[in-house]
Structure 1
Amino acid sequence: MTPTPSDRPTKRVSGNPATQADIALTVKQQRERQKQEKLAQYQRELAKRRRSKLVWWAVGVAAAIAVIALVVASIVFTPKPVTYDRGDGDGTAIPGVETFENTATHVEGTVAYPQTPPAGGDHNAAWLNCGIYSEPVPNENAVHSLEHGAVWITYDADAVDEAGLDAIKAKLPSSYVLLSPHEGLDAPVVMSAWNAQLKLDGPDDERIEDFLDAYWRSQSVPEPNAACTGAIDGPGKQS
């Protein structure tokens, strides 16, 4: 008996168009499509990595430029260190310089000096480390530094302000110099070396450099070339 249309098996058909398309594709076509999808994904990831590398490269270049700019700025704007030749210990041609004859014996205790601040004389066996001090320092130790060729610049704290101190500091060498306030001065600024002294009207006095030229690291002191570090710090040591 011939089967009727209602008795014939029906072909199963998916209602999802994407599924129907998958069924319609051959195995070879499906593999090819998968291959193309993987290739597209790889290209997307590759492009992403390239963009990331480009960003990091740009950041690295910007950082390098910033570092170079900082180095150049530090070279251009950092003040050059002040240097002086070793003096010969003769500053008598400088207007206002006074000279003395002081002894150079190591003693203990407090010393009564004929000059204020002292410009030589008996002193403590330990010298004062050279540098900048914000408080008065012991005379007996500072004088020992003078014996080694240092120059001691003292100032009246009531007469010299911060701007004035900065003006003095800008003229100082990096070693063999003391800067500190001192009580009982009869001038705003007083410069002392071994057996020599100069009283100044203020921190802008041009004779500061002249005195340093004549007496800084003088070879005429009792102990030329002796150290100005490695001993003791006074109160208020800043540098």
Structure 2
Amino acid sequence: MSKSARNKNARNTHARGARQNALTQRETPWGPIVFFTVVGLVAVLAIGYAFVQSRPSSADDRPSIAGLVTKDDLDSGHTSAAVKYATDPPMGGDHHPTWQNCNGRVYDAALRNENAVHSLEHGAVWITYRPGLPAAQLDVLKGKVTRTDYTFMSPYPSLDSPIVLSAWGNQLKIDDASDPRVDKFLRAFVKGPQTLEPGAPCDGAKDTP
């Protein structure tokens, strides 16, 4: 075979190889990849939105307790000054930077409102009672408090009801410690959904009235 023939055959073979490579190479399917990526992102966003929408708000989580008084949008700043509260006892608002120890504590003297309110911010329930409450009722309340973390109790001379239970933004007035609403309130609001600072401690701060 002549040299020119061999060169021609080589060129033909190279051309066939190039055509075969062009046919056999797989192109990256960018179209389907982009399409399914977009579909996946839309699905994730839709699921996330539905989850957020389905979560109950703290107001929705409130139980049905007869006589329960609620207040939303309370201020929660820190201040060392005296605070004039809208309710007596308060159930939230600006408060002292130091919380009142509330790990099942029973106090024999009135507490400073500003420290107690800080404890409510941490998810505590504050039980206050009017001085002169019968000893048997006091014993019932003390038993509940000492067995329950994130609760504390103290006398409160200016109460217009024998007993008042307060959590952040929630309050209940009762006449007798044996009222079943006491336990219902504790179950609902001890570290409940109203807690502004979940996981914040209830000890290691102010330990005296």
> TM-score normalized by structure 1?
0.59
How big is the alpha-carbon RMSD for the aligned residues of Structure 1 and Structure 2? 1.8
Give the equivalent residue in structure 2 for 1:127: 99
Distance in 1, matches of 2:139 and 2:60, equals 26
- For residues 10-21 of structure 1, the aligned pairs below 5 Å read none
| Structure 1 residue 171 corresponds to structure 2 residue 144 | yes
Does structure 1 residue 98 correspond to structure 2 residue 69? yes
Aligned to 2:125: 151
Question: Is the contact between residue 169 and residue 194 of structure 2 (CA under 8 Å) also seen in structure 1?
Answer: no
What SS is found at the alignment partner of 1:137? coil
Q: Report the number of matched residues.
A: 148
1:232 maps to 206
Tell me by how many angstroms 1:225 deviates: 1.4
AA at the equivalent of 1:161: P
Max radius of gyration: which structure? 1
Contact kept? 1:88, 1:215, Cα under 8 Å? no
- Give me the identity figure in percent: 45
Q: Runs of 4+ in structure 1 displaced over 4 angstroms?
A: none
Report SS of the residue matched to 1:152.
strand
Q: CA deviation at 1:89?
A: 8.5
What is the match of residue 13 of structure 1?
A: none
Please report how far the alpha carbon of residue 91 of structure 1 lies from its aligned counterpart in structure 2 after TM superposition.
3.5
* Cα contact 2:120–2:168 (8 A) shared by 1: yes
Does residue 1:117 correspond to 2:85, yes or no?
A: no
Contact 1:119 1:143 in 2 (8 A): yes
CA distance in 1, matches of 2:193, 2:118: 15
SS in 1 for 2:127: strand
Q: Look up the equivalent residue of 1:163 and give its one-letter code.
A: A
Structure 2 equivalent of residue 161 of structure 1: 134
Give CA-to-partner distance per residue, 1:33-77, whole Å, 9 cap, x none: xxxxxxxxxxxxxxxxxxxxxxxxxxxxxxxxxxxxxxxxxxxxx
Counterpart-to-counterpart distance in 2, 1:233 and 1:170: 19
**In 1: Cα distance, 2:59 partner to 2:141 partner:** 22
Q: Deviations over 1:16-47 (max 9, x none)?
A: xxxxxxxxxxxxxxxxxxxxxxxxxxxxxxxx
Tell me the equivalent position of 1:209: 183
Q: Deviations over 1:142-187 (max 9, x none)?
A: 00000000000000012x1221111112223331001000021110
SS at match of 2:87: coil
- What residue number does 1:33 align with? none
- Unaligned 5+ residue runs, structure 2? 1-57
Identify the residue that residue 192 of structure 1 maps to in structure 2: 166
Native 8 Å contact 2:92 2:117 kept in 1: yes
Q: Which residue of 2 aligns with 1:136?
A: 110
**Cα distance, 1:229–1:209 mapped onto 2, change above 3 Å:** same
Distance 1:89 1:221, change over 3 A: farther
User: Structure 1 regions of 5+ residues with no counterpart?
Assistant: 1-86
Instruction: Quickly say closer, same or farther: Cα 1:89–1:153, change in 2 above 3 A.
Output: farther
